[in-house]
Chain A
Amino acid sequence: MSVSTTSHRVEFQDRAKKALQDASLQRALAKARGGFVDHRQDAIDALPEFDAIRDAARDIKNHVLANLDGYLELYEQQVIENGGQVHWARDAEEACQIIAGICKDAEAKTVTKGKSMVSEEMHLNPVLEEAGITVVETDLGEYIVQLAGETPSHIIAPAVHKTREQITDLFHEHHSPLGYTDRVTQREALVNEARSVLRERFVSADVGITGANFLVAETGANVIVTNEGNGDLTSCLPRVHIVTAGIEKIVPSLDDLSVLLRVLARSATGQEFSAYTSLYSGPRRPGDMEGPEAYHVVLLDNGRSRLLGGQYQPMLRCIRCGACLNHCPVYGSIGGHAYGWVYSGPMGSVLTPLLNGFDQSLDLPNACTLNGRCKEVCPVRIPLSDLLLKHRVEQHERRLSPGFGRFLLGAWAWLACRPRLYQGVMALPLRVMHMLGRRRGSLTWLPGASGWTGSRDFPAPARRSFMRQWRSRKVRS
């Protein structure tokens, strides 16, 4: 155990360090950061009742989670009534097998995908590719990431870590063989070229796989929200439509849906509404102009039901808006890939240990300043920083945190409970540090905290502590 936890710790720290030194990544992150924050603020300033809507959104999700079994069954009944099928997947592997099976039955050669973080969670693409199927991501960001052979680095902006120059290179490399030999560099030209390439793929796909922002229990509809319309082309054009979603995506009714939609886009991109909000309820009915012949919903548990009724249940309220990532100073410094799994930022740091195992991600809950901005901006009021602290408590109680750190902390805490002794013991190091730092006013190197002094000075302490000075003042007076 200790070996694997140590190596995981080193892995995160290494990835973070590399990310900090990656000039392209830093340029891309710097460009993205302010935009998300400012746009969200503008959208919220324009809606005085935003906080009340957030409360309502939280209450709806809490109600669903308290009655999840009933709503899931209701949802399943509605999907079946609409002519679709619901498949229950305990874990990622089972979900991949179900989806691969549906694709095989449909004799699919090409699959288009709308953006689905759940399919990233289950590592679906390699499974389909192994089965000889061509998989095409159709969300522009996901498409870029796929061309680069990478994974999304942000739940709503998958390619936020890429600069325009990098995208230009990728498109030139991958589109030249298709006849797009001009090297396009401007934003609009890049989008048009991707649109043109993807258009072919939409038309020729046998199966379309989308995620779901919400699943409406009373109607059996899945709801997808996009700004590109790719989700609609993925849902409607192929013969078979497969929806992948976590079991927590349920909302009871269309009224509830409208409440959640009002907080989603504002929190995510600062839009009042995304460009496309689409509800799909099943396969094509007699007389319908378009739509798939078959409609499947694959509902993934993958550890979610374990969280029900426990201290981390609020995490299941998450609607994947990305606001916590956009407001997190750690995410803003290193981007999503350093987190090591599909979910990043504060929501990822809470969720990854819960779904993947505590000892696999010991660093994530600790690599946080507990500044609370994530909690402040969450549209469904998930106390993210409090949940990260609960992780730390659990790590401490299960003795997963590093032994030497625990020893030092224990020794310090023992001393802190004995103030008179503490004041005496602290006097000597204080005096030494004061002497060393007196000339400059600060120390450029500090034993035991060389990390701190690697990037900043350590201001020199006073010669004598306040408590000592106060006592002599009192004695004198």
Chain B
Amino acid sequence: MTETQIDSPIKVGLFVTCLADLMRPQVAFAAVALLERAGCRVRVPRAQSCCGQPALNSGDRASTMNIAKGVIRAFSNDDYVVVPSGSCADTLINKYPDLFRHDVKWAGRAQDLADKTFELTTFLVERLGVELEQVSYPGVCAYHDSCSGLRELAIHQQPRALLQQVQGLSLREVDDGSACCGFGGLFSVKYPDLSGRIVGDKCAQIAQTEADTVLGGDLGCLLNIAGRLRREGSDLKVFHVAEVLAGMTDGPAIGEAESEDKA
């Protein structure tokens, strides 16, 4: 693996994640922009859909392994794999090697993928030591730490370090910030009353910060939080951290109407 060298750019494969792909493509475009500005050559393999978490968390190991094999194959030629989500990155980094632990053929390949996979903000800070180009976001932001990223990959300082470089942006910490937002993937659909209650608590704590924007690194949580804020009639904006870091905040925030309606 090559470290940063001017004449041979780092080859990064982007694992888009199914939620960014379908719900918020701008997150993936922001990730591409950030990586390219940092000198990486970004490839987006077409043979990707989802990391398999819905199956994994439903106890369906066989289906997850089938999906995982596709992901492992799709990224086998990249130097690095970057994921704009802590929870999907955790799946590639920690869950795939565990799934293939006893599989002679795939264990090594799963570990290879795990070793070169990074969550986006971690990659930018710890691998590339990125200094952001001129970017600004005039707002008071509350950062929501997503559970898998926080607990399994120790993602906490990385996004904050990057956000500190954004002009005009100030950060607020949410009380009991390491508490879950109640998303939990299929949990939010299977147990909607519980999920709705938990995200209600989270939004109340976010509101206490008096921030005008909620940021986070995982679209699952952000869709959940944004959906709840919309229902409550709150005008808090919700963005993925990558969108702010890439300066892509001119359009509607997550769950917000397009600007023609606002005007």
Q: Are B230 and A17 in contact (CB under 8 A)?
A: no
Which of A396, A430, A470 is close to B58, meaning CB atoms less than 8 Å apart? A396
Given A333-B197, A442-B227, A456-B230, also A467-B16 (CB < 8 A): yes
A416 adjacent to B52 (CB under 8 Å) = yes
Comparing B146-154, B165-173, B209-217, the segment that makes contact with chain A is B146-154
Contact partner, B184, options A369, A406, A464, Cβ 8 Å: A369
User: Cβ of A34 < 8 Å from any Cβ of B?
Assistant: yes
| Contact indicator A369/B16 (Cβ below 8 Å) | no
Contacting residues, chain A, for B192 (C-beta < 8 A): 451-452, 454-455
**Is A354 close to B, CB under 8 A?**
no
For the complex formed, measure the closest distance between the CB of A269 and the CB atoms of chain B, giving whole angstroms. Answer: 18
How many residue pairs at the A-B interface have CB separations less than 8 Å?
219
Q: Which residues of B contact A413 (CB under 8 A)?
A: 52, 54-55, 60, 63-64, 66-67
Q: Across the interface, do B59 and A465 meet the contact criterion of CB distance under 8 Å?
A: no
Q: Beyond A372-B151, A455-B193, is A470–B49 a contact (Cβ under 8 Å)?
A: no
Q: Are A369 and B198 in contact (CB under 8 A)?
A: yes
Q: Which of A462-477 contact B (CB under 8 A)?
A: 462, 464-467, 469-471
Interface string of A352-376 (1 = CB under 8 A from B): 0000000000000011111111011
B184 touches A456 (CB 8 A): no
CB distance from A153 to the nearest CB of B (A): 17
A239 at the binding interface (Cβ < 8 Å): no
Given contacts A369-B180, A419-B70, contact A409 B58 (CB under 8 A): yes
A332 CB to nearest B CB, Å: 8
Bits for B218-236, please: 1 = Cβ < 8 Å to A, else 0: 0000011011101100000
B contacts with A: majority SS: helix
Taken together as a complex, chains A and B put the C-alpha atoms of A372 and B261 apart, in Å, by 40
> Which A residues are CB-close (under 8 A) to B187?
366-370
Given A456-B231, A467-B16, A412 contacting B22 (CB threshold 8 A): no
Residues of A within 8 A of B67 (CB): 413, 416-417
In the bound complex, residues from chain A placing their C-beta under 8 Å from that of B189 are 449, 451-452
Cβ A396 vs Cβ B46 within 8 A: no
Cross-interface CB contact of B22 among A327, A371, A452, A465, cutoff 8 Å: A465
Residues of A within 8 A of B191 (CB): 13, 16, 366-367, 451
Question: Closest A-chain residue to B199, C-beta based?
Answer: A456
Q: Is B182 an interface residue (CB 8 A)?
A: yes
Q: Is the CB of A409 within 8 A of B55?
A: yes
CB distance from A117 to the nearest CB of B (A): 24
Indicate whether A397 sits within 8 Å of B59 (C-beta atoms), given known contacts A423-B49, A442-B230.
yes
- Chain A residue nearest to B151 in the complex (CB): A372
CB distance from A298 to the nearest CB of B (A): 36
CB distance from A373 to the nearest CB of B (A): 7
The answer, yes or no, to whether B104 is at the interface (CB within 8 Å) is no
Residue from the list B29, B180, B227 in contact with A329, Cβ < 8 A: B180
Assembled-state Cα–Cα distance A461/B196 (Å) = 20
- Cβ of B61 within 8 Å of any chain A Cβ, yes or no, is yes
Are B60 and A396 in contact, with the CB atoms below 8 A? yes
Point out the residues of chain B lying under 8 angstroms from A461, CB to CB: 22-24
The answer to whether B184 touches A441, judged by C-beta atoms less than 8 angstroms apart, is: no
Residue numbers in B under 8 Å from A397 (CB-CB): 59
B190 within 8 A of A: yes
Stretch at the interface among A205-213, A305-313, A386-394: A386-394
Minimum CB–CB distance for B129 against chain A, Å: 27
CA distance A454 to B196 in the complex (A): 8
What residue in chain B is nearest A400 (Cβ atoms)? B59
Which residues from A are CB-within-8-Å of B130?
A: none
Chain B residues with Cβ below 8 Å from A405 are: 58, 190
Instruction: Tell which of B25, B56, B197 touches A465, judged by Cβ atoms closer than 8 Å.
Output: B25
Say yes or no: A368 contacts B256, CB within 8 Å: no
Q: Are B47 and A459 in contact (CB under 8 A)?
A: no
Q: Are A441 and B252 in contact (CB under 8 A)?
A: yes
With both chains docked as a complex, state the minimum distance between the C-beta of B97 and any C-beta of chain A, in angstroms: 14
Taking the nearest CB of chain A, how far is it from the CB of B186, in angstroms? 8
User: How far, in angstroms, from A391 to B58 measured CA to CA in the complex?
Assistant: 10
Interface string of A110-126 (1 = CB under 8 A from B): 00000000000000000
**Which of B24, B176, B194 has the largest number of chain A CB atoms within 10 A?**
B194
Shortest Cβ gap from B17 to chain A (Å): 9
Chain B, residues 85-129, CB within 8 Å of chain A (1/0): the string is 000000000000000000000000000000000000000000000
Contact among B22, B148, B196 for A462, CB-based, below 8 A:
B22
A interface footprint on B36-69 (CB within 8 Å = 1, 0 otherwise): 0000000010111110101111111101101100
Shortest CB–CB separation between residue A288 and chain B, in angstroms?
A: 49
Q: Scan B236-263; emit 1 where CB is below 8 A from any A CB, else 0.
A: 0000000000000000101111100100
Chain B residues contacting A341 (CB-CB under 8 Å) are none
Decide yes or no whether B9 CB sits under 8 A from chain A.
Answer: no
B179 interfacial contact with A, CB 8 Å = yes
User: Which residues of the partner chain B approach A394 to less than 8 Å between Cβ atoms?
Assistant: 59
Query: For residue A366, which residues in chain B have a CB less than 8 angstroms away from its CB?
Result: 187, 190-191
Binary CB contact string for chain A from 436 to 455 against chain B (1 if under 8 A, 0 otherwise): 00111110100001011011
Contact B223 A458 (CB under 8 A): yes
Contacts of A414 in B (CB 8 A): 63
CB-based contact A459/B22 at 8 Å: no
Q: Could you tell me if A389 and B194 are in contact, using CB atoms closer than 8 angstroms?
A: no
CA of A275 to CA of B231, assembled, Å = 47
Within 8 A of A (CB), among B1-49: 16, 18, 20-26, 28-29, 44, 46-49
Is B195 interfacial (CB-CB < 8 Å)?
A: yes
A16-41 near B? 1/0 per residue, CB < 8 Å: 11001000000000000010010000
Give chain B residues whose Cβ lies under 8 Å from the Cβ of A396.
58-61
Chain A residue at smallest Cβ distance from B17: A466
User: Is there an interface contact between B179 and A329, defined as CB atoms closer than 8 Å?
Assistant: yes
Nearest A-chain residue to B222, judged by Cβ: A459
Q: Given A451-B193, A452-B192, do A409 and B184 touch, yes or no (CB 8 Å)?
A: no
CA distance A460 to B227 in the complex (A): 9
Instruction: Tell me if B208 is interfacial: C-beta within 8 Å of chain A.
Output: no
What residue of chain A has the Cβ atom nearest to residue B90's Cβ?
A372
Shortest B201–chain A CB gap in Å is 8
A330 at the interface (CB under 8 A from B): yes
C-alpha gap A458/B230 in the complex (Å)? 9
A456 and B46 contact, CB distance less than 8 A: no
In the assembled complex, 11 residue pairs joining A and B whose CB atoms fall closer than 8 Å, in A order, are: A34-B176, A329-B182, A369-B180, A393-B61, A394-B59, A406-B60, A412-B54, A413-B64, A438-B257, A455-B200, A466-B22
List 13 extra interface pairs beyond A333-B201, A417-B66, CB under 8 A: A16-B193, A16-B194, A369-B187, A370-B147, A372-B151, A413-B55, A416-B55, A441-B256, A444-B231, A457-B228, A459-B226, A464-B25, A467-B44
